[in-house]
Amino acid sequence: MQINGIDHLEFYVTDLDRSVEIFRDGYGFQPLAASTPLEDSLTGHRSVLLRHGAARVVVTAATRPDSEVAAFVAEHGDCVRNIALRVDDVPAACARATAGGAVLVAAPLTRDGVTTATVAGAETLRHTFLSGTGADTSPLPGFSPLRNVPPAAGLIEEIDHVAICLPGSTLTRTEDFYRRTLGLRRTFVETIEVGDQTMESLVLQGGAGDSVTFTLVAPDCEEGQLVDFLRACGGGGVQHVAFRSDDIVGAVRATGAHGVDFLSTPATYYDQLPTRLGCSSEDAAVLAGLGILGDRDHWGDLLQIFTRSPFPNRAVFFELIERRDARTFGTANIRALYEAAERLRTSGLVPAGTGSE
């Protein structure tokens, strides 16, 4: 059994139309398909599938107060519910996951040419295994294509990684769970200290070409942005989603012009950027003007920027990232993000957690 990548992320949301607008108008996603009226009546919720490059997201909202979606949103707010994975053999993936300790939610089923099965993941998450679909225009079971779909803006290539915030002291347990159920392995570990706050993080990767990356983070303190996130989400879950771009400067300019709100970085951060990246002062000035962070690892350079959460509970947020051969996440950037988010939190502008890698 092989995982071939993240097929899509499914968000359970309060307001379907507003959530579609966030992805369509802010980030340039194409709405590709929507659940059929028959499907909506059976499930008590409505969903829309959107795509930008190889990144696909589904937004789902309740149509009945007695639906599973309504109950989840009432408890957790707008959150990622499902990290769906493309696999070559759904029954084998399901068997491995359940043998590793995952709870079966939906047994393998083939419908509309797509085979699926779903298991419970860490904390509030689920994972659906799919075969017979891809990161293109392929609809999902129970969906019908939308007409007159405008082209995507071409700013996003794929989902780079998903950051999952967990309660303190649960990183090792969650790592072991994903090693047993999905075959992921640890590739990076770090502890960040900012004032009296401590954040533990580790990166898990796996699948074909390491196409699946989960960044696990957890607080080792009593208060702070990660603790705020756990409160806002009502438990652990996806803290942020990173979209990879080949032109982060163009992506930030375009998304910013469409209302995406980014975290700010102090001007002093950029004083040493030309030395750290080996770039010109003119290029550093462009990055500084847009608030883009820059760092370097053993393999190359990394540029990234983080947004404020656009959702009502102010929990999940997004990242734009450009990898110039870099494979990791930039230690200086992690600290800069944490400090920027903490400034927002203590200012009272962001009532819930807007955390870090």
Written as tens digits, the pLDDT of the chain (357 aa) is 799 999 999 999 999 999 999 999 999 999 999 999 999 999 999 999 999 999 999 999 999 999 999 999 999 999 999 999 999 999 999 999 999 999 999 999 999 889 999 999 999 999 999 998 765 667 799 999 998 777 777 899 999 999 999 999 999 999 999 999 999 999 989 888 877 788 899 999 999 999 999 999 999 888 888 999 999 999 999 999 999 999 999 999 999 999 999 988 878 888 888 888 888 888 989 999 999 999 888 888 899 999 999 999 999 999 999 999 888 776 666 666 666 666 666 665 544 444 434
Numbered residues of the known binding site:
161, 240, 319
What residues form DSSP beta bridges with 192?
Answer: 199
Numbered residues of the known binding site for Fe cation:
161, 240, 319
Torsion of CA 79, 68, 75, 222, to 10 degrees: -60
Burial 292-324 (b: 16+ CB within 10 A, else e): bbbbbbeeebbbbbbbbbbbebbbbbbbbbbbe
Q: How far apart are CA 188 and CA 327, in angstroms?
A: 10
Question: Phi-psi bin for 12: left (phi > 0), alpha (psi -120 to 50), beta?
Answer: beta
Q: Which residue has the tokens 């017979």?
A: 132
Q: Which domains does the chain have, with CATH numbers?
A: 3-145 (3.10.180.10), 158-347 (3.10.180.10)
Q: What is the pLDDT of residue 221?
A: 85
Whether residue 79 contacts residue 162, with contact meaning beta carbons closer than 8 Å, is answered with no
CA neighbor of 232 nearest in space, from 347, 313, 348: 313
Q: How far apart are CA 317 and CA 240, in angstroms?
A: 5
Q: How far apart are CA 324 and CA 283, in angstroms?
A: 15
Burial 98-136 (b: 16+ CB within 10 A, else e): bebebeeeeebeeeeebbbbbbbbbbbbbbbbbbebebe
Whether residue 109 contacts residue 116, with contact meaning beta carbons closer than 8 Å, is answered with yes
User: Looking at residue 101, what DSSP letter applies?
Assistant: T
Q: What is the pLDDT of residue 224?
A: 83
Q: What Rg, from alpha-carbon coordinates, does the chain have?
A: 20
| Cα 112 to Cα 51, 140, 195, 210, distances in angstroms | 20, 8, 54, 29
What's the whole-model pTM score? 0.92
Q: How far apart are CA 183 and CA 300, in angstroms?
A: 27
Q: Is the dihedral of CA 10, 333, 204, 54 positive or negative?
A: positive
Whether residue 224 contacts residue 338, with contact meaning beta carbons closer than 8 Å, is answered with no
End-to-end CA distance of the chain: 29
User: Looking at residue 17, what DSSP letter applies?
Assistant: H
Question: Phi-psi bin for 331: left (phi > 0), alpha (psi -120 to 50), beta?
Answer: alpha
- Local structure of 247: helix, strand or coil: coil
